[in-house]
């Protein structure tokens, strides 16, 4: 069965929307990992300066 031009246009539009959502999801995942890593760096730094205040200026 051959789709009508309107059905084909709707299907291509839906495919385009899915591609955009997937690209956004992938970029958010990468950003989330970066923010999590940066948070771990800050936590380690604050923890180190809390438990070793004499070395706080070094870090």
Q: What SS3 string covers the chain?
A: CCCCHHHHHHHHHHHHHHHHHHHHHHHHHHHHHHHHHHHHHHHHHHHHHHHCHHHCCCC
pLDDT at 49 over 90: no
Q: Quote the pLDDT of residue 26.
A: 85
Structure tokens at 41: 């760096």
Range of the domain at 26: 5-55
pTM recorded for the entire structure:
0.53
Check: CB of residue 13 under 8 Å from CB of residue 21. no
- Measure the CA–CA gap between 19 and 16, rounded to whole angstroms: 5
pLDDT at 10 over 90: yes
Q: Looking at the 3D structure of the chain, how many domains does it have?
A: 1
């Amino acid at each position: 069965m051959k789709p009508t031009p309107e059905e084909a246009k709707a299907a291509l539009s839906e495919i385009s929307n899915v591609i955009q959502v997937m690209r956004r999801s992938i970029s958010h995942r990468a950003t989330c990992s970066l923010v999590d890593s940066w948070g771990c760096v800050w936590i380690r730094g604050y923890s180190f300066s809390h438990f070793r205040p004499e070395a706080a200026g070094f870090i």
